[in-house]
Each structure stands twice: as C-alpha cells, then as structure tokens.
A and B are shown apart, each in its own frame.
Chain A
Amino acid sequence: MRKLSLILILFVILSVSAVSAQESSTLIVQSNGDPQTLSGLYANDGNSLSVVTFLVEPLVLGGENWGDSIEPALAESWTVSDDGLEYTFNLRQGVKWHDGVEFTAADVLFTYQVVLLEENAIDWRSNLLQNGEPFGFEVVDDYTFKVILTQPDATVLTALSIPIVPAHAFESTNVVDAPFNTNPIGTGPYRFVEWNTGENIVLEANADYWRGAPKIGRLVVSFIEGVENSANALLAGELDFARIDGADLTPFQDNPDFTIVEAPRDLMRYVGFNVQSELYSDPAVRQALAVGLDRNAVIDAVAGGYGILPDSVFNRSVFVYEEGRNAQYAFDPEAAKQQLADLGWTDSDGNGFLDKDGQELTLNLAYLGTWSLMQNISPIVYDNWRALGVNVTLVPLDDAAANTEIYDNQNVEKSYDAFLGGWGLFGPEPDHYRNYLASETGFFAYNNADVIALFDEGRSTSDADARYGIYEQADALLWQDLPLIPIFQPIGVYVFRSDLNLEEAEINGTFLTGLKFPGNAYFVES
C-alpha cells in the first residue's frame, strides 16, 4: 500500500512538472494598454499595432508599420510590366486563415475595395489613389492579382503594404463596426484567443502558418504602462520580453538571467515649428534654435543615452538616408545667440528676453502632456532656449486638446509656435512623409513649392537612381529649411529572458513589436 501511494505521489509530481513545462511555453510581451481596434485595417496606433502585427500580414513587407525593406509576404513574387503600369502579384498558395478557410485573391481584392470606400474612414485610403482616382484591381485567378495604374508610380509596393483581411468575415456586416474588429482573423503566426480588458490579450500559435508553426504555443500581450513598470515586471517574471529604453537598466546589466539587445527604432522625436507663424517663418531663426538645442542632452536625459543624433528630417530606414551627407547643427549656444543677434534679435529692454522692433521673441511650445516622453523632453528645450533669450512657455495639452490642436492636418491655422512630436514606422519609402513635409495643412503648415515638386517628381519616377537623386535633393532642402528640428531617433533596448532565443525572430526596431518574425522565437531547454 505504501509503495503504491509513493508511486502515486511520484506520478502526481511528474504530471505536475509536465504541465509546468507546457505552461512555460508562453511568451509574455508588453503593450501600453488596451488597443483601440484589433482590425488590421484600422490599427495605426501603438497599442493596436502591438497586437495586430502578430495576427495579420500584407502582400508585401516594407510599407508603413511593416519593416524597413520590401520583401515578399502573402505575395510570393511579383512582376511589373515594361510601361510600369501593371503589377502582377503571384500569391502564396495553401495559406489558411485562422478559421481554416483558404486565402485567395478574392480576399486581396476585398481588402483594397474596403479601404477605398470613403465611408469606412480607413487611413490607408490615400495609399490607393493616384491623382484622386483609385488604382485598378483585377483578380486573374485565385492566386494571381493585378494592380493597374494610370501612370507609373514608384511607391506602389509600399502603398499596397496594407494588412489583408478575409472577405468571408464581412459577409453579413459592414466594416466600421464589424465583430471582426474585436475578434479578428488573420494569416499571421498567432491567432486571437481572448481579450481581458485592461489586463491582456491572449494569442495562440497558428499551427498552419506558412513560415512554419510557431515554436511557442501561447503569446500574451500584457498591458503595462511605462518603461519603469515594464522593467519591474521583467524583474518580477511577469514579462518575458519588453522594450525598456529610458528605464534604469542597472538591474539587467551583468545579469545572466537577462539578455539586452539594441536596435534603432524607425521613429523620430522632434520639435516641429508652425512655419506660418509670424516669428518662426524665417528658416534662419529655426536654424539658430537648432544650434541652440542640446539634443545630446535630451538623448542622455530622456533616453538614457539610447538615441541617435539625426542629420536628416528622414529616419534612417528611408532608402535615401546616408549618414554625414548633411552638415550637423552642432550644439553651440554662443553661436546660436550670435545668429539671433545677426537677425536683429537683441535684448534691448534688458528683461532677459530677446526682442526686435518692440516685439518679444516668445514661443508657445505645445505637447501632449500625458505622453511622459514629451513631458521629459520639455524641460531641456525650455531651459536651452530660455538661455538664448527666447521666452518659452510650455503648453501641455490633454489628449483631446492635442488631437484638435496638434495632430490636426486639416487646417492651416495652428495655435502653437512649435510643438514636441514623435512619428515614425514610415519604412523605407520617403513618400510616406508627404503628408507632413509636402502639405500646407500638415503639422508644420509647411508649404514649400520646391519640396512639393520634388515629392511629386519622386513619386512618378520609377528609375531607382533618378529617385535617389530627387529625394537626396529634397533631403538637403528640408535640412536647410528645417520645418522641424529632429531631436533624436530612439534606439530600442530590448530586454528578455536569457532562455528565450530570438535570433531567428530577428529583433528589428522598425516593427513596433520589435520582432520581425515573432513565430520563430523559442525557449531554450535548460
């Protein structure tokens, strides 16, 4: 009897350990909070992209939010007609949606048609327009899809890089409030299981994934706000993988339990000017302020040194970027003061602030006050520019006010002189900056005919070398004109459990999740 119970106990212990081994095959990653949507069509904010990127895929990688190079995904290959007007995509065969239905060209057609419907209000709509007219689409057979243009357009591949959604999920519903938006189906490495509001989203491996079934069975996107909290959660074992640049890294350095990997992120933090404002319409003033801003100090103070000092208004992932081509605006407060003095800005009334013709050099610096990064950047900009004699006022705005006053690209009238902003995930295509750099109603109200002409030319030129030359010119012009002062491009510091192998998953800062092929991650047996 005794022996039997001992065996039983052993058995129980063994089975328990077997269960725990299975459980350890869960990867817990971090996101800041509940996504606004789980539909790949609408996801264009950090929280949504942090989940959606695991679930869906575009035809081709390399568009906005989809990495730094053009690579085949759901389209296996493509050919371009000699006149540059017809793109024929050969779709991958045997790809299954998460519900088992087969992926075909009909889904691709459906996706682009849905995006084009204005009533659906999908951000990507403008991607599929050419001079205001939509691209032509044609389903040749189940695995061949054709895009027909009216004139050559070099940005087609990245423009088409939009997550494909299954047509059959929308048979009896409209797109705007489809059940799909909270219970999505994709072709990606992980499929949606459940959403615990305010807590996490649980995904499980898509065993039929065309790149091969993910080795980790479950993926949990846990909602933890802020890098410090993420760092604490990593230490407490509540997260397996997180990006924590800006947090105190001391506990992870020289710690065998954790691995640290750095990768530049396809993001930019910047001070944007209202180019139409009275005081800051002169590029020379903007240049002086750039010279008077200690951007390295910002990198040290807010990013713990994990940032790249930019020398272009474009991010590094843009194909035309080349380090050192533009002259750097190196920090030199004395030179900045001199430049302002040369422009006639002096402190004639002795109140500590510069003035010219009886007008004081005031600057309203707006930013999203709930964004801690912007909050952290603001004291340095404030102090640096005050030291030059600019009467800076910080204007932190709440989310609603920021949406109407900063993140508004409909109006030319802006309420700020300058604002702190961040953007990115534009991928390799410089044309993705068009709405900001070549549009009068963009954030900077920047309306430079030369820049707009270059952007238009760049779009219609298909020859790669010629394109490079065009955007090189635009880059030099923008760096000279400086509608925005790029402060830094962050370097992601990805920290994860040392028994997690991410080599084949490719840590890549141009994806919001930091992982290019999340399905290839696995735990090393120890």
Chain B
Amino acid sequence: MSSRSSTLPLSLVSDQHRNEVRGWQLFRRHRLALASGLLLLMFIGIAVFADQVTPYDPNATNTDYARGKPQAPSFEYALGTDNYGRDYLSRTISGVRVSLFVGISAVIFQLLIGVTIGALAGYFGGWLDNLLMRITDIFLAIPAFMLLLILAGILGGTLLALIFAIGALNWMTVARLVRGQFLSLREREFVMAGQCIGASHWRLIAVYILPNTISSIIVAATLSIPGAILTESALSFLGLGVPPPNASLGNMLGGAQQWIRTAWWMWIVPGATISLIVLAFNFVGDGLRDALDPQLR
C-alpha cells in the first residue's frame, strides 16, 4: 500500500500489470476457486452451445412414454423425463442457459447503475453525494423480494423484464462500495496531478479513478451473480419467471413439488444444478477477492 502513495499515472499502469500477474498466481493457489472456475467455464460452454448439446427439444413432450408420471433416468433419457415426457437433461441445459443469462445480465445491469451512482456520489461529494446515498438508503430499506414479486407481476414474465427487475433492485451494495473507493481515491496524489494538468471531471472519473476500483467491482459482481441466479429461480418457482413452456431451473423445481415423494430426479437435478452454479460463483468470487482485493492481501 505505502509503495503506491507516490505513484504517478504513468507508472500506475505497470504497477497494475504487476498486480494482475500476482493476482493470477494467488488465484491459482486457491484450488477450490480454480476448480470452480473450470466448472463455471463448462456450464457457460453448455449454456452458449445449448442448442447443439441438448439431445432433445426441451419443450417436446413424449406423453406416450411418460403416461402422466415422471420417468426415471434411462439410456434413452439420461436424467429421466418430467410428467409430460420432456427430456429432463435438455430442460436442465436450457435452464442453465436461462439462469446464467439472467444472472450475468442482471449483474451487468446492476453494475451500470451502481457504478454510475457510486462514482458520481463519491467523486463530487457534497449535496449530490447526500442525495444519491439517501436514494440508495431508500432502496436498501425496501424489502427487495416483495417489490420484485410486484415488479415481475406488472412487467410480465419475459427475460428482459426479469433482468430489469433484478438489476434495478440490487445495485445498492455496488454503489456504496464504489462510492467508498472513490472517496479515498479522489484525495490521492495522482488524481491531484491529473487535476493540475487540467483533466476534465469525466476523464478523472473514467481514466484516473475507475480503473483502480475495477478489482473490487469484479469481486462484488462475481459474488452477486449467485444472488441474482437464486432470485431468478425463486421467481420462476413462484411462476413469475421465464414464460412457459420454457424451462428454467426455478420453474423445474416448482414443477417437481408434487413429485417429491416419488421422483427424486425431478427435484435433485435442478436443485443440485442451482447449488453447483451458486457455489461455484461464490468460490470463484472468494478466490478473486483473495487475489485482487488489496485490503485483504
């Protein structure tokens, strides 16, 4: 930390580069995070190529085969079928795609809001800071899930609506984090130097300060993806998520409710998949924090 106090913008870049290399080494030492990262890459690969890897159309029913009851895993259907005879593996894969897409997009959306508000509040301070932070407090005080239920109900069950709703109600932590970083960074010498050579506010925010907050933003983002995924699942479970008949891990769990006693794959498969994705993101987030966050190093 102390070595940085005299750094000027030019040398900052190489300093950052050193940090990145060292960060990667640290991340690699975090075995669990590394394994989780690989698992996530696999899930992301599956999600991206979902149309190519699903053995069946996830919405195609095979009612003669199912005869109204979920059918256990077999050679034909690796993870069994639901009570409509829809291939559970295909539905899980398309559910993973939905979950990841919603989770990641919602977090990107909440970063856009959170970083903007945090940066403006932290950089300008004064009444603007006060105003933006009070707005943040108001949002934090609202029980988000209740509001989400209402929002999802009003906006209807489309993916974009879900992303919007989840993003719009979860940006507060990021905003506070970024504001805190900006508050301390704006007093630093390299920022003053920038001010002296006449850099505009916009340039100071975007070029001088923001890059220094990136690592904490990445950590925060990684750690909030699981929350977004779980929220999506919860909404889908309640029937407010992705529109039917499309699968999402949440509405698969919802559909499994009445088969809990008799068909284990109906709830274990989507449940375990959600847990795996969420855990993996959490471990990767932990690993990234250990590796990147200067405060904890």
Instruction: Give the interface of A toward B (CB within 8 A).
Output: 227-228, 246-248, 250-251, 294, 296-297, 299-305, 369-370, 375, 378-380, 382-384, 386, 394, 396, 398
Chain B positions within 8 Å of A227 at CB level: 258
Residue of A nearest to B154 (CB): A398
| Apart from the given pairs A299-B68, A379-B86, 20 other A-B contacts in the complex at a CB distance below 8 Å | A228-B258, A246-B258, A248-B261, A300-B66, A300-B68, A301-B61, A301-B66, A301-B84, A305-B68, A375-B239, A378-B245, A379-B61, A379-B245, A380-B63, A382-B244, A383-B60, A394-B243, A396-B239, A396-B243, A396-B244
Chain B positions within 8 Å of A303 at CB level: 68
| Contact with B63, one of A297, A382, A386 (Cβ below 8 angstroms) | A297
Contact A369 to B258, CB < 8 A, known contacts A375-B244, A383-B59:
no
B124 within 8 Å of A (CB atoms): no
Interface residues of A, dominant DSSP: helix
Most buried by B among A247, A299, A304, A383: A383
Residue of A nearest to B67 (CB): A300
B194 within 8 Å of A (CB atoms): no
Contact A228 to B257, CB < 8 A, known contacts A297-B61, A378-B244, A394-B244:
yes
B250, chain A: closest CB distance, angstroms: 14
Instruction: Give the interface of B toward A (CB within 8 A).
Output: 59-61, 63-64, 66-69, 83-84, 86, 153, 157, 239, 243-245, 257-259, 261-262
Contact B153 A398 (CB under 8 A): yes
Contact A394 B245 (CB under 8 A): yes
Residue of B nearest to A387 (CB): B60
B123, chain A: closest CB distance, angstroms: 43
Complex alpha-carbon distance, A369 and B69, angstroms = 22
Contact A247 to B258, CB < 8 A, known contacts A300-B63, A379-B59:
yes
Contact B259 A248 (CB under 8 A): yes
| Contact with A251, one of B61, B63, B244, B261 (Cβ below 8 angstroms) | B261
Complex alpha-carbon distance, A42 and B245, angstroms = 36
Chain A positions within 8 Å of B239 at CB level: 369-370, 375, 396
Chain B positions within 8 Å of A304 at CB level: 68-69
Contact A380 B258 (CB under 8 A): no
Residue of B nearest to A250 (CB): B262
Contact B258 A382 (CB under 8 A): no
Chain B positions within 8 Å of A296 at CB level: 63
Residue of B nearest to A296 (CB): B63
B78, chain A: closest CB distance, angstroms: 21
B57, chain A: closest CB distance, angstroms: 9
Complex alpha-carbon distance, A461 and B180, angstroms = 84
Contact A301 to B262, CB < 8 A, known contacts A228-B257, A379-B84, A382-B245:
no
Complex alpha-carbon distance, A250 and B244, angstroms = 28
Most buried by A among B66, B68, B86: B68
Complex alpha-carbon distance, A299 and B262, angstroms = 19
B296, chain A: closest CB distance, angstroms: 46
Contact B245 A383 (CB under 8 A): yes
24 pairs of residues in contact across A and B, judged by CB atoms under 8 Å: A247-B258, A248-B261, A250-B261, A251-B261, A297-B63, A297-B84, A301-B61, A301-B66, A301-B84, A302-B68, A304-B68, A305-B68, A369-B239, A370-B239, A375-B239, A378-B245, A379-B59, A379-B245, A383-B60, A383-B245, A386-B59, A394-B245, A396-B157, A396-B243
Contact A380 B244 (CB under 8 A): no
Complex alpha-carbon distance, A348 and B245, angstroms = 27
Complex alpha-carbon distance, A227 and B259, angstroms = 12
Contact B84 A382 (CB under 8 A): no
A368, chain B: closest CB distance, angstroms: 11
| Contact with B83, one of A299, A301, A369 (Cβ below 8 angstroms) | A301
B120, chain A: closest CB distance, angstroms: 37
B149, chain A: closest CB distance, angstroms: 12
B161, chain A: closest CB distance, angstroms: 13
Most buried by A among B64, B84, B157: B84
Chain A positions within 8 Å of B84 at CB level: 297, 301, 379-380, 383
Chain A positions within 8 Å of B243 at CB level: 394, 396
Complex alpha-carbon distance, A398 and B261, angstroms = 30
Residue of B nearest to A251 (CB): B261
Complex alpha-carbon distance, A375 and B241, angstroms = 13
Chain B positions within 8 Å of A294 at CB level: 63
Residue of A nearest to B246 (CB): A394
Complex alpha-carbon distance, A64 and B151, angstroms = 39
Chain B positions within 8 Å of A302 at CB level: 68
A141, chain B: closest CB distance, angstroms: 57
Complex alpha-carbon distance, A382 and B59, angstroms = 9
Contact A301 B63 (CB under 8 A): yes
| Contact with A380, one of B61, B67, B69, B261 (Cβ below 8 angstroms) | B61
